Structure formats: C-alpha cells, structure tokens
Amino acid sequence: MILIIVDALLMLVSLYLIFVWVPPAAILGETSRIVYLHVPLAWVATLAFIVAGLAAIQYIRKNSIACMFYARSSVHIGFFFSILTVITGSLWAKVMWGSYWNWDPRETSITLLLLVYIAYFSLHQIMRTNPKGAMLESVYLVVALVASPFLIFVAPRLYPSLHPEPVINTQRAVLLDTEMRMVLLVSVVAFTLLYVILLKLWLSINKLEYVYNEDES
C-alpha cells in the first residue's frame, strides 16, 4: 500500500512537471511533452521483457514454478506497455509527420516485437494443459530475450529513419537539457515503480489461477 501511495504521488508530480513546469523543447514545441511519457513507457516495456526472459532462464535451471509466475506476469506487463508505447508514438507521428503510421524502421521493429510476444501468448494457450508447457514457454521467452535487443536497438538503426535520435544517441551525447532530463528521470522512476506494483498484482493473479487449475484437476 505504501508503494502505491508513493507512486501515485510521484505520478502526480511527474504529470505536473510534464504539462506545467517544463518548457516545450525547441523546434518540437508542445509535442515534445509526449516524449516524457513515450520514453518511460518504452523503458518499462523493455525492462519487463528482460525480467521475463531472465525469469524463464531461472525456471529452466531450477524448475521453479515461482520463476514461471514472474516470467508470465512480466511478459504481460511488457506487452501492455509496448502497446502504450506504440500509441504515444503514433500520436506524436500524427502531429509531426501527418500520419499515425509510416512503416518507419522503428515502427516496423516494434511491430515485429509485438508479433514475437503475440506468438508467445498463443503458445501459452495451446500448451497450458501440457505438462511440458511451462518449459516450452520458458525456452521461447529465452529466444525472445535474445531477439528483443536486436529489434529494439539494432534493427531501427540499419536503415534511415524519420524517428528522432534516442535520448542518448549512438555518440553517447545526451540530447536533453538539465530541466528536461530531470522531468524525464522523475517520469521514468514513476513508471518503473508502477511496473513493480503491477508485477506484484499480476503475480498474485497467476498464483490464484494456478491454485484454481490445480484444484480443478
């Protein structure tokens, strides 16, 4: 409960900083404010997929159902935040490029990433009653963990892109001033705490579902 209260307050502070306190960025103007939501959403999605992959590795090593709970919970959260990342990115694209979707390399790579995890959800549904289902899911998530960095960080840079430079570009130059970095940091922390809260909630749901299925069988 304390964590929820802290994160709620931090979210309110973050929204105030984003929409009231920080001035709009040069050139981008008011549309730059969406960056303070888009970047943290993308960060949490990436973090969640990494946690899911690492938990899957632990399940393969230890055959611990608790690790599988973490993997399944985190991958759902990662997918949800990926969708929010796409939505905020599309809103920004509409303003800047006149179209919600342009099949830009970064847009294409996020589409492929979503398809990777949609396939995982399909595998989970097919194998949920199979005794070897959890192991197959774990192996798939490990493969997805290997593929994700390529789709997130490498593929978008292979071809010319309309997408602006990341906050820290390939030359490791930070493209934000001090005020913007502070606002972005607060937003990242707020959304990271939200991920932790959602992970705990989803873990409880997965455990209840597991107990229910065990009782049914």
The residues, any chain, with a CB within 8 Å of residue 65's CB and separated by 6 or more, are 59, 134, 210
Q: Does residue 174 register a pLDDT over 70?
A: no
* Interatomic CA distance for residues 121 and 149, integer angstroms: 20
In terms of average pLDDT, the best of 106-110, 177-181, 187-191 is: 187-191
Say which residue, 74 or 111, is predicted with more confidence.
74
Q: Give the model's confidence band at 212: pLDDT under 50 very low, under 70 low, under 90 confident, else very high.
A: confident
pLDDT digits (tens, 9 = 90+) for 49-83: 999 999 999 999 998 889 999 999 999 999 999 99
Amino acid 171: pLDDT: 45
Give the tokens for residue 150.
Answer: 């390529």
Amino acid 97: pLDDT: 74
Angle between helices 178-216 and 65-97 (to 10 degrees): 140
pTM of the model: 0.87
Q: Which of 8-22, 141-155, 192-206 is predicted least confidently?
A: 141-155
pLDDT digits (tens, 9 = 90+) for 86-95: 999 888 877 7
Amino acid 6: pLDDT: 94
Amino acid 32: pLDDT: 78
Q: Does residue 110 register a pLDDT over 70?
A: yes
Computed over every residue of the chain, the mean pLDDT equals: 85
Q: Does residue 168 register a pLDDT over 80?
A: no
Amino acid 158: pLDDT: 61
Q: Does residue 148 register a pLDDT over 60?
A: yes
Amino acid 164: pLDDT: 56
The residues, any chain, with a CB within 8 Å of residue 15's CB and separated by 6 or more, are none
Q: Does residue 9 register a pLDDT over 70?
A: yes
Give the tokens for residue 100.
Answer: 């919600």
Backbone conformation region of residue 39, classed left if phi is above 0, alpha if psi is from -120 to 50, else beta:
alpha
